[in-house]
A and B are shown apart, each in its own frame.
Chain A
Amino acid sequence: MKRKHLLGLQDATREEIETWLETADAMREVLARPIKKTPALRGQSVCTLFFEPSTRTRASFEMAAKTMSADTSSLTVAASSVSKGETLKDTLLTLAAMGAKCFVIRHSSSGAPELAASYSGKFGFDFSVVNAGDGQHEHPTQGLLDMMTMREHKGQIEGLNVCIIGDLLHSRVARSNVFGLLTMGANLTLCGPHTLLPQEFSAMNVKMTTNADEAVEGADVVMTLRLQNERMNGAYLPSVREFARLYGINAQRLKRAKPDAILMHPGPINRGVEISDEVADGAQSVILNQVTNGVAVRMAVLYHLLGGNEGNE
């Protein structure tokens, strides 16, 4: 794989996605060994730069890097010179000058990781950039770990009926999943209230509906998205209770999906809003499985970006 950065799944080929997923399966086996450590990225330095809060993404990137013996450092932005007004560019170049070879970036502005990647090779430093979520744009490793989880439970992605339900307008998770799943040949249904269902998606090969019961009907995979606090108070919804009633996934609504359907959520979950307690903790829920797969997928991504894999097989 020749790729230097992972900024989104929009431009990822099917072959690339398959390579990441296959490698991630091998990485999951590594994580099941009594000693979870391989020397594959020894001497490489990975720096996480999170301009937004995160629990699972940041922790899993760090665990992924450490499992492969990379050195990790993480910049807590609030306690850094960024709070004194240092720009993204100067922050990156400063860390690159200390030897960082890979930046994992989360930022509230869409496109920040792309901007960061554009500095690589220009000021005497060469580095890789991984997008760990940028604004309302993409969150590619989440898309990959979701596809890994679907493949694990359903065997393959091609032909699966996947329903994504909730706040699609603000969701970078949804966008990465839509790009990735379409590339892999899944049948997609997107569902949410008019205010949160962007019409841009209608140009793609997806079904769109505002009726949740209809959307869930016959699904192999039901993916519900976090309704972010700030949306609850915005002018997008009449009330959270109404959203929960019309678009929340509960046992009754989940029955419309196939009996062996899996229920996914990128976390953190709002219990009682987009997902009810009984299904979040139910037999069809694979939410914690997604978290476990997150480490394996991020190992695979770092391995291929930093490993210089020239494909000798």
Chain B
Amino acid sequence: MTEPKTLLEASDIARALKRVAHEIIERNRGLENVVLVGIRTRGVPLAQRIAAYLNDIEDVEVPVGTLDIALHRDDFHLRTSAPKMSQIRFDVSEKTVVLVDDVLFTGRTIRAALDALNDYGRPRAVQLAVLIDRGHRELPIRADFVGKNTPTAREESVQVCLDESDGDDEVLLLTEE
């Protein structure tokens, strides 16, 4: 493995998320009926940070939920992690749900998340916010809000480290030889 390349530093992540927060407000003309749902694991702290920025900007407390998609994956037989607790304590029906994840890659996680979300109700609309879009989609899925677009090679991997889970904020590009 070669030396990892830093894609985003802590200050870049903060700026990107702040911009995403502004875009969410702009797109939805405010925050009425907007809720955030973070996809486990790193989508959860990202959703909480975006909610904090939304609160700073609009002075509105946006509900934040947690979604685990292990039970809805289509690569269940290949590699799955044990399911963890989801927690959506509000009704998603007739809400605009902004799904939040760290990296958008093949799109399969998002497909699974859309399925899982349907078990909670029928949102009026679902939007997608990601910190990194690295391309290589295998499904017709796109993000509405992107922190950073980063073209990558398929065999590379993007590692998002967050203070809450990893003790530090940074995004790295790793190349396997």
**A27 to B70 Cα, complex, angstroms:** 11
Is the beta-carbon distance between B82 and A19 smaller than 8 angstroms? Answer: yes
Is the beta-carbon distance between A23 and B72 smaller than 8 angstroms? Answer: no
Is A304 located at the chain interface by the 8 A CB criterion? yes
Is the beta-carbon distance between A39 and B83 smaller than 8 angstroms? Answer: no
| The one of B78, B85, B119, B121 that contacts A26, using a Cβ cutoff of 8 Å | B85
**Prevailing SS type, chain B contact patch:** loop
Binding site for A on B (CB under 8 A): 68, 70-72, 76-87, 115-116, 118-121
Is A79 located at the chain interface by the 8 A CB criterion? no
Shortest distance in angstroms between A26's beta carbon and chain B's nearest beta carbon? 4
**A29 to B116 Cα, complex, angstroms:** 12
Binding site for B on A (CB under 8 A): 1, 19, 22-23, 25-27, 29-30, 33-40, 68, 303-304, 307-313
Is the beta-carbon distance between A22 and B118 smaller than 8 angstroms? Answer: no
Is the beta-carbon distance between B119 and A33 smaller than 8 angstroms? Answer: yes
**Are A38 and B71 also in contact (CB < 8 A) when A33-B119, A33-B120, A310-B79 are?**
yes
Across the interface, which residues of B come within 8 angstroms of A19, CB to CB?
82
Is the beta-carbon distance between A39 and B72 smaller than 8 angstroms? Answer: yes
Across the interface, which residues of A come within 8 angstroms of B79, CB to CB?
310, 312
**Are A304 and B71 also in contact (CB < 8 A) when A29-B87, A38-B119, A39-B115 are?**
no
Across the interface, which residues of B come within 8 angstroms of A1, CB to CB?
82
Is the beta-carbon distance between B82 and A34 smaller than 8 angstroms? Answer: no
**A30 to B121 Cα, complex, angstroms:** 13
Q: How many pairs of A and B residues are in contact by the CB < 8 Å rule?
A: 67
Across the A-B interface, give the 4 residue pairs with the lowest CB-CB distance, nearest first: A38-B71, A35-B119, A313-B81, A26-B83
- 14 more CB-based (< 8 A) A-B contacts, given A27-B83, A33-B120, A34-B121: A1-B82, A23-B83, A26-B82, A34-B119, A38-B71, A39-B71, A307-B80, A308-B80, A309-B80, A309-B81, A309-B82, A310-B79, A311-B81, A313-B81
Chain A to chain B contacts (Cβ below 8 Å), 6 pairs: A1-B82, A22-B84, A23-B83, A38-B116, A38-B119, A40-B83
Across the interface, which residues of A come within 8 angstroms of B115, CB to CB?
39
Shortest distance in angstroms between B160's beta carbon and chain A's nearest beta carbon? 15
**A40 to B115 Cα, complex, angstroms:** 12
Shortest distance in angstroms between A13's beta carbon and chain B's nearest beta carbon? 15
Across the interface, which residues of B come within 8 angstroms of A33, CB to CB?
119-120
Across the interface, which residues of A come within 8 angstroms of B119, CB to CB?
30, 33-38
Is the beta-carbon distance between B72 and A40 smaller than 8 angstroms? Answer: yes
Closest to B92 in A: A34
Across the interface, which residues of A come within 8 angstroms of B81, CB to CB?
309, 311-313
Most central of B71, B116, B121 by chain A CB within 10 Å: B71
Across the interface, which residues of B come within 8 angstroms of A303, CB to CB?
71, 83
Across the interface, which residues of A come within 8 angstroms of B76, CB to CB?
40, 307-308
Shortest distance in angstroms between A289's beta carbon and chain B's nearest beta carbon? 18
**A190 to B72 Cα, complex, angstroms:** 43
**A310 to B78 Cα, complex, angstroms:** 8
Shortest distance in angstroms between A143's beta carbon and chain B's nearest beta carbon? 19
**A308 to B119 Cα, complex, angstroms:** 24
Across the interface, which residues of A come within 8 angstroms of B83, CB to CB?
23, 26-27, 30, 40, 303
Is the beta-carbon distance between B82 and A29 smaller than 8 angstroms? Answer: no
Most central of B72, B79, B80, B87 by chain A CB within 10 Å: B80
Is the beta-carbon distance between B72 and A26 smaller than 8 angstroms? Answer: no
